[in-house]
Amino acid sequence: MTTPEQAQDAVFLDRSNAEWRALAAHADISDWSGCPGLAGATGLDHVLIAIRHNPDPVLRWLLVRSRAGCPLARRTLWQTMLPKLFRMARVDPRSRLSEYATALWLQLDRMNPHRRNLAANLALDTLKAVQHERGSTVSGADPTDPTDLGQLPEPRPDALNARRVLRAARELGLLDAATTRVLTSVYADGLTGTEAAQRHATSPTAIRYRCSRGVRHLARHADRLLAAA
């Protein structure tokens, strides 16, 4: 029998896939031919196929392009990992797919593109981030987690890109002021959900909900953000 939580995850997955199909119908990837693994690809669905056949080179290229400020590359990476996140959430009685999806979005800024087995490491780091957020014990510290450093990290190029994208989203009217402030805290300043909740005088659950809604809304407008950021 499907639980209410599993039904919620299924709705999230269906909506995300519908947003992806709408994006894929109009996305222009003609300038992605510089990636050897994408030679001949004419659409985003071809990119997903290429990732299945030759994951690391294509994922690495997309990560680098995402760091350079390409929302479409970032959304493609997110979509690639979504089925895996869905399976992870199905066996996790305490966290929903939206929480995994939001954690992954942040991990895309933290992942070293030169690591091997990028998909597996993205999934593992996302799992660790979700468990860390809810206070579970995870074996081994995440060396890329700024909370392990005892202080906020120095501004990174990816953080600067996040600020640029969020600023563009605000200027385009895609986000309200409150959502922009929350997303900036999490995706640009690198705060955990608990830390962001303290900053904005709300709960970690509210932070996760606002991040989840904000990320999915921005993903629907990736083409506009790409032009404006």
pLDDT in tens, 107-145: 888 888 888 889 998 999 888 888 877 665 433 333 333
Residue 105 — very low, low, confident or very high, per pLDDT cuts 50/70/90?
confident
Domain assignment present for residue 39? The answer is yes
Res 155: pLDDT = 36
Res. 6: pLDDT tops 60: yes
Going by pLDDT thresholds of 50, 70 and 90, the confidence category of residue 75 is: very high
Write out the residue range of the structural domain in which residue 198 sits. Answer: 4-132+156-228
| Mean pLDDT, residues 91-95 taken together | 84
Is residue 50 within 8 Å of residue 33, measured between CB atoms?
Answer: no
DSSP codes of every residue in 68-111:
TT-HHHHHHHHHHHHHHHHHHHHT-SS--HHHHHHHHHHHHHH-
Q: Compute the C-alpha angle 87/203/221, nearest 5°.
A: 60
Query: Quick check: is 46 in a domain?
Result: yes
- Tell me what pLDDT residue 1 has: 66
> Which tens digit of pLDDT belongs to each residue from 140-154?
333 333 322 222 233
Q: 191: burial class by Cβ within 10 Å (0-12, 13-18, 19+)?
A: buried
Mean pLDDT estimate for the chain: 80
pLDDT of residue 178 exceeding 80, the answer is yes
- Can you give the pLDDT at residue 153? 33
Task: Specify if 178 maps to a domain.
Answer: yes
If one counts the domains in the chain, the total is: 1
CB-based contacts of 201-207 (< 8 A; 24+ apart in sequence): 204/133, 207/182
> Is 126 within the bounds of a domain?
yes
pLDDT of residue 221: 76
Give the burial class of 220: count Cβ atoms within 10 A of its Cβ; 0-12 exposed, 13-18 middle, 19 or more buried: middle
Whether residue 138 is contained in a domain is answered as no
Task: Compute the average pLDDT of residues 182-191.
Answer: 83
HSE-CB of 45 using CA atoms within 13 angstroms = 8
Q: What is the pLDDT of residue 168?
A: 85
In 3D, which of 145, 163, 155 has the Cα closest to residue 69?
163
Question: What is the structure's pLDDT at 188?
Answer: 78
**Residue 18 resides in a domain:** yes
